[in-house]
């Protein structure tokens, strides 16, 4: 049976690293990329040299993604079975303080780049007649408003809408597209929040605490697998019951 290969953005730390670990442990191949190479990535390259492959790629340079990812990074003839659009840039501020440069940069990384990666993967799926799975990481803030997160939430809401329509467009080819709306986790992205803000966020959940990234990674793995063959166009919330 052929090993499955998955393309994963934002692999160097946090949730992306957890997703890579889970896929590698299941015996799959992971082609991961991030803007920078971390110590965690170096360890995976040493531990899983025949399964894990890495490249430094800046998602903000959207016009270079087709060349960098699908021609330079992936060996010719590589069959991709799934894509995880995990990488994201956070720009948080009040709506009245909008910085257009920062906002446009975030939209390139969080929306336009995932669209470009999805385009490349769908072409790969069709070329190899693969019933591929697309998984896009969203956020609970799309559903439960938080002060200062209107800009970030808007990018994730756009990604969810895109995912649902891609599912409709390509379902007849066996291609599925889903989103995972993660709750607040203890990651580098949320590490900038002070203790009071975190406590306020966690009190709004039914479980009263941060989401375990492994739970999100497990959900992503499920959506990539054949166990979820009947699920497409959906958003699954892994958020400790954010209310």
In whole angstroms, give the CA distance from residue 31 to residue 13: 15
In whole angstroms, give the CA distance from residue 115 to residue 107: 11
Q: Which residues have a Cβ under 8 Å from the Cβ of 205 and sit 6 or more positions away? A: 183, 239, 240, 241, 242, 243
Task: For 81-234, list the strands marked E by DSSP.
Answer: 82-85, 133-139, 176-182
Tokens encoding 150: 């209107």
Residue 88 CA, distance from chain mean position: 8
Task: List pLDDT tens digits, range 74-85.
Answer: 999 999 999 999
pLDDT at 191: 58
Q: What is the pTM of this model?
A: 0.93
Q: Please give the domain boundaries of the chain with CATH numbers for all domains.
A: 5-238 (3.40.50.720)
Strand duo 176-182 + 133-139: pairing: parallel
In whole angstroms, give the CA distance from residue 240 to residue 243: 9
Tokens encoding 58: 């800046």
Between 199 and 32, the higher pLDDT residue: 32
DSSP state of 242: B
pLDDT band at 205 (very low <50, low <70, confident <90, very high): confident
pLDDT at 188: 58
Q: Which of 17, 91, 152, 162 is catalytic?
A: 152
**What is the dihedral sign for C-alpha 222, 226, 227, 230?**
positive
Task: List pLDDT tens digits, range 56-76.
Answer: 999 999 999 999 999 999 999
pLDDT at 219: 97
Q: Looking at the predicted structure, is the pLDDT value of residue 145 above 90?
A: no
Q: Looking at the predicted structure, is the pLDDT value of residue 189 above 60?
A: no
In whole angstroms, give the CA distance from residue 46 to residue 40: 10
CB 90 within 8 A of CB 40: no
Q: Looking at the predicted structure, is the pLDDT value of residue 199 above 80?
A: no
Q: Which residues have a Cβ under 8 Å from the Cβ of 3 and sit 6 or more positions away? A: 27, 28, 29, 51
In whole angstroms, give the CA distance from residue 113 to residue 119: 10
Strand duo 82-85 + 29-34: pairing: unpaired
152 is catalytic: yes
């Amino acid at each position: 049976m052929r090993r499955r290969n998955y393309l994963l953005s934002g692999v160097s730390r946090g949730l992306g690293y957890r997703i890579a670990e889970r896929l590698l442990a299941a015996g799959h191949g992971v082609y991961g990329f991030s803007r920078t190479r971390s110590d965690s990535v170096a360890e995976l390259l040493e531990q899983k040299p025949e399964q894990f492959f890495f490249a430094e790629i800046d998602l903000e340079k959207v016009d270079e993604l087709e060349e960098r990812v699908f021609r330079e990074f992936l060996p010719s003839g590589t069959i991709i079975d799934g894509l995880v659009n995990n990488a994201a840039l956070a720009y948080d501020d009040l709506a009245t303080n909008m910085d257009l440069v920062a906002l446009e940069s975030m939209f390139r990384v969080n929306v336009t780049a995932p669209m470009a990666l999805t385009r490349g993967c769908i072409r790969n799926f069709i070329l190899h007649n693969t019933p591929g799975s697309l998984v896009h990481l969203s956020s609970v803030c799309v559903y439960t408003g938080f002060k200062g997160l209107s800009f970030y939430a808007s990018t994730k809401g756009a990604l969810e809408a895109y995912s649902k329509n891609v599912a409709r467009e390509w379902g007849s080819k066996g291609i599925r597209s889903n989103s995972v709306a993660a709750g607040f986790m203890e990651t580098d992205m949320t590490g900038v929040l002070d203790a009071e803000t975190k406590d306020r966020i966690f009190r709004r959940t039914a479980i009263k605490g941060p989401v375990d990234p492994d739970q999100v990674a497990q959900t992503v793995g499920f959506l990539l697998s054949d166990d979820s063959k009947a699920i497409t166009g959906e958003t699954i919330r892994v958020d400790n019951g954010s209310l």
